Structure 1
Amino acid sequence: MGKLRIKNLLLRSYVGFNPHEIGKRQDLMFNITIDYRSGEEELSDKPEDALDYRTITKEIIDKVENSQFNLLEALARMVLDTIMAHERVQAAEVEIDKLHALRFSESVSISLAATK
């Protein structure tokens, strides 16, 4: 079993329902952990045998940047579902920080996890 981590993926999306947030892209930081069936690539050392995390990341970027959400929870669920749709993925956790969401805080975050 392999554990892949994508750390500090910075994206912008429309998230929020307060008047000052509507129609404005918010700064978001994603930390993602993916547990997946590994083994073949460990023995073969062939790129085609590895989990294609670049494709997964591109899917996430496209969906996040082209969507609108009222709640971080809904955004986290969409990202988690995108990851879990990949056959080799056994479990995943997504944490999303909404940067500068509160005046005296660096961020507010939500974390969701799923397993197959």
Structure 2
Amino acid sequence: MPASDVSHLATVRIKDLILRTYIGIKDEEINNQQDVRINVCLTYDASDAIRNNEIESALNYRTITKQIIHHVDGNRFALLERMTHEVLSIVMDHSAVRWARVEIDKPHALRYAESVSVSLEARREV
């Protein structure tokens, strides 16, 4: 297969990032931190990273993860939808990201359910 036929669109997944934050509208949720599980899936053009084999040419997903941790950990959110939107905005602030989906789970939010999650996605036109 000629090199020109190979896609260099890389998919990066940040899986099961577990953070503690204030999430919810009930008094017990406002006063006590809870765990949330964050999953991010994104795509970017990895052509330079593949060609150069240097970290400077790749999307720095460690930086993205640190930004998410800094924003969510210990912060306050009334709604899971708002938190998911803000995390997606952090990811999309990186101009190399072409598409991203963020899903955030709130474990044990409902009786008899493992968790409740909200997922949002965004696409950048290139």
Please tell me the root mean square deviation across aligned C-alpha atoms, in Å. Answer: 0.9
- By how many angstroms is 1:97 displaced? 0.3
TM (norm. structure 1) is: 0.96
The answer to whether the aligner puts 1:50 opposite 2:58 as a matched pair is yes
Q: Which has the larger radius of gyration?
A: 2
Q: Which position in structure 2 is the counterpart of 1:110?
A: 118
Could you tell me which amino acid in structure 2 is paired with residue 8 of structure 1?
D
- By how many angstroms is 1:20 displaced? 2.1
Segments of 4+ moved more than 6 angstroms: none
The answer to whether the aligner puts 1:75 opposite 2:83 as a matched pair is yes
Tell me the distance in 2 between the aligned counterparts of 1:85 and 1:38: 17
The count of aligned residue pairs is: 116
Q: Which runs of 5+ in 2 are unaligned?
A: 1-8
| Structure (1/2) with the larger helix percentage | 2
The answer to whether the aligner puts 1:21 opposite 2:29 as a matched pair is yes
Tell me the distance in 1 between the aligned counterparts of 2:113 and 2:85: 24
Aligned-pair identity in percent equals 45
- By how many angstroms is 1:19 displaced? 2.1
Tell me the distance in 1 between the aligned counterparts of 2:46 and 2:31: 42
